[in-house]
Structure formats: C-alpha cells, structure tokens
C-alpha cells in the first residue's frame, strides 16, 4: 500500500469537499436567464465554462467528464486499495469495451468516446478487444468479451455489444463487491444491482416491451430472477421487493417512496431517484468515519451525482426544458444526506 492510509485520504477529502456545489449555487444556476449568467456563476467552480461552450453539448460534456476523470485519477493515486475507486470506475471500463467493440464491428473511428478511468488503461482494453488476449486483465474479462463478440457475429446487431457489456459490468461489480472486506460496500453493490433491475423492469413494462426483450436486459446478479422482476413490475408490487432489501428500515426520507409503492403510484423517474438516494444514504455514515474506505466512496459518489446534476441543468436550460422537469430529475446533493 506504499504507506498510504485511509486517514490520510479522509484528511484530503475534508479539503476537497469545499469545491462541491452548494444547494444555493444549484438554485442560482436554475434561475439564470441566459448562458452568460450561467458562465459567470460557474467561473468560481471547477466546472468553468464560457458562454459559447454552454451552447455546445459536446463542450459541456468534455468539461464535466474531464473533471470527473481527474477526480478518479486522484482517487487511484491516493487510495490504499485500488478496488475502492474501481467500484465507481468499473462502469467506464465497460463503456470503453463497448466503444472498442463497436469500433471493431463498424470500422468507425470512435476514440473520442473513450474515457480514461479505471485500473485498466485504454491500451490494455484496446489489446483485449483487438487481440482477444487477457495478458493484462483477468481471464474472465476476456471470456465475457469473447462471448459478446461471438453473439454479435451470429446476429450482426450492435445492440448485442451494448447489452453484453452491460451485463458483464454487473458480473464484474458483483465479483468486486464480494472481494471487499466491508459490509456497507458489499450492501451498496447488491442494492445498486437490484435498483438497476427494478428501474429496467419498470421502464420496460411501462413501454409494453415483450418479456423476451426484458430478459435480455436484466442482470442475473440481483436478488431476483429475470422472470421474478418482470412479474413484480407487471403487478406494480415493488414494495414486496423493497421491504426485503432496504437496509435503512427507519429512514424517514424513504417513507414517501414506500407509500407510493404501497399505492402503486411510484413512477420510473421516482424509482431512479430512489436508487441514487439509497446509494447516498448507505454511505452517509461515512461523514463520521475518520479511518476507513467509506468517506472516499461517499466522496466519489457525490462527484458522480454532481456531474449528473450539472449535465441535467446545463443541457436542460439550453433546451428550454421546464424548471419543474429539471428539478424532478435532479439527484441528491453532496452533504445533504
């Protein structure tokens, strides 16, 4: 561990927390009338964007993701255990594998979509997908990539690459969770996978998708089978699932969602918010921990949600979405848990 300790990490976090946007700053952004006003508000933050950039979705994304990638680089540099930041960067590893496999399938140049985050460098992932070699990563990663590629060759459908890498991500996440010596983080992984399945089933049922379509998307790593998720969503009986997996039985902030489940009035948007809220609250105890991995996990989740919120606000305002629609979709704000 090169002498690194979580107490050192947590001291550094207490300094870096000052750069998080506050609820007041979010509200001021929401009330801005034009890009010039938004640019002025952002100049004092780590997400500085000029007026022209705020009218360019690619420029917004580049700044937001650039800052997030820098946070992850810092986390890997300072963390005593690379598995902790890997919990959060794993989604980008599998995003990159999707991009590289699509590039292989189409001969298009997609390098601009790659995101440099995680324990596996872009060079390692490029080698994995180009040569189908696990020289620098686990054999089971290669097995997932090979199985997905073979299925793509059978069906010649790019969606196979998307779905295959999404499901491989959850398998990897589950494996990583089992290897962690921390009950809260293991629970966080389990709840994250279950919430993905719940949201996916809910959205698919709302859109009247066939069972065959739903089964392709649902992860086998959750607490229910694909058939059980589908039946639950069709009945609207999310409370029976939630009451079994909710690790925060007495949290008053969750009662509204439990009541909506009871009356079967919970929307997909509310279920998505609940998924993030649960993740935040599971790590909330970290604010009182001085020597352990949870403060770093909480910090990185906070950065992820901050980027989600800023992307939503900046693109939503540029597209003149109603403020009510933007606020409905905003995620929990760091420090407000």
- Give the CATH number, domain containing residue 300: 1.10.132.50
Please check whether residues 188 and 177 belong to one and the same domain.
no
Please check whether residues 1 and 54 belong to one and the same domain.
yes
Please check whether residues 270 and 307 belong to one and the same domain.
no
Predicted pLDDT at 134: 87
Predicted pLDDT at 286: 65
Please check whether residues 251 and 305 belong to one and the same domain.
no
Q: Residue 99: which domain range? A: 84-182
Of 251, 274, 290, the one marking the end of a domain is 290
Please check whether residues 190 and 284 belong to one and the same domain.
yes
Please check whether residues 114 and 104 belong to one and the same domain.
yes
Please check whether residues 255 and 306 belong to one and the same domain.
no
Please check whether residues 134 and 41 belong to one and the same domain.
no
Predicted pLDDT at 2: 59
Please check whether residues 268 and 232 belong to one and the same domain.
yes
Please check whether residues 306 and 325 belong to one and the same domain.
yes
- Give the CATH number, domain containing residue 128: 1.20.1690
267-285 pLDDT, tens per residue?
999 999 999 999 999 998 7
Of 182, 214, 240, the one marking the end of a domain is 182
292-333 pLDDT, tens per residue?
899 999 999 999 999 999 999 999 999 999 999 999 999 999
Of 252, 268, 290, the one marking the end of a domain is 290
What is the domain count for the chain? 3
Assess contact for 334 and 26: CB atoms under 8 A.
Answer: no
126-182 pLDDT, tens per residue?
999 999 998 889 999 999 999 999 999 999 999 999 999 999 999 999 999 999 889
The model's confidence at residue 255, banded by pLDDT at 50, 70 and 90, is very high
pTM as predicted: 0.95
Please check whether residues 69 and 97 belong to one and the same domain.
no
Whether pLDDT at 1 is above 60 = no
The model's confidence at residue 4, banded by pLDDT at 50, 70 and 90, is confident
Please check whether residues 8 and 25 belong to one and the same domain.
yes
In the block, tokens 């100049």 appear at 43
């Amino acid at each position: 561990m090169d002498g690194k300790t979580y107490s050192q990490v947590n001291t550094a976090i207490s300094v870096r927390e000052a750069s998080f946007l506050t609820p007041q700053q979010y509200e001021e952004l929401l009330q801005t009338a034009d890009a010039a006003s938004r640019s002025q508000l952002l100049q004092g933050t780590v997400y500085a964007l000029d007026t022209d950039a705020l009218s360019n979705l690619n420029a917004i994304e580049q700044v937001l993701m650039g800052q997030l990638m820098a946070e992850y680089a810092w986390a890997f540099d300072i963390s005593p255990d690379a598995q902790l930041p890997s919990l959060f960067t794993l989604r980008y590893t599998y995003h990159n594998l999707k991009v590289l496999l699509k590039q292989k399938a189409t001969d298009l140049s997609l390098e601009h979509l790659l995101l440099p985050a995680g324990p596996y460098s872009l060079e390692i992932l490029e080698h994995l997908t180009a040569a189908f070699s696990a020289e620098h990563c686990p054999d089971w990663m290669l097995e997932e990539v090979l199985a997905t590629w073979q299925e793509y060759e059978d069906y010649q459908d790019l969606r196979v690459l998307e779905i295959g890498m999404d499901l491989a991500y959850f398998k990897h996440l589950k494996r990583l969770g089992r290897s962690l010596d921390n009950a809260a983080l293991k629970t966080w992984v389990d709840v994250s996978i279950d919430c993905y399945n719940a949201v996916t089933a809910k959205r698919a049922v709302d859109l009247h998708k066939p069972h065959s379509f739903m089964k392709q998307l649902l992860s086998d790593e959750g607490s229910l089978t694909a058939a059980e998720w589908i039946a639950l969503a069709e009945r609207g009986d999310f409370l029976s699932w939630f009451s079994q997996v909710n690790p925060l039985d007495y949290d008053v902030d969750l009662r509204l969602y439990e009541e909506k489940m009871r009356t079967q009035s919970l929307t997909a948007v509310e279920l998505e918010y609940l998924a993030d809220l649960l993740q935040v609250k599971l790590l909330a105890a970290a604010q009182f921990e001085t020597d352990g991995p949870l403060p770093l996990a909480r910090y990185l989740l906070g950065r992820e949600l901050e980027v989600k919120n800023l992307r939503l606000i900046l693109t939503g305002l540029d597209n003149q979405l109603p403020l009510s629609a933007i606020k409905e979709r905003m995620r929990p704000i760091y420090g407000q848990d």
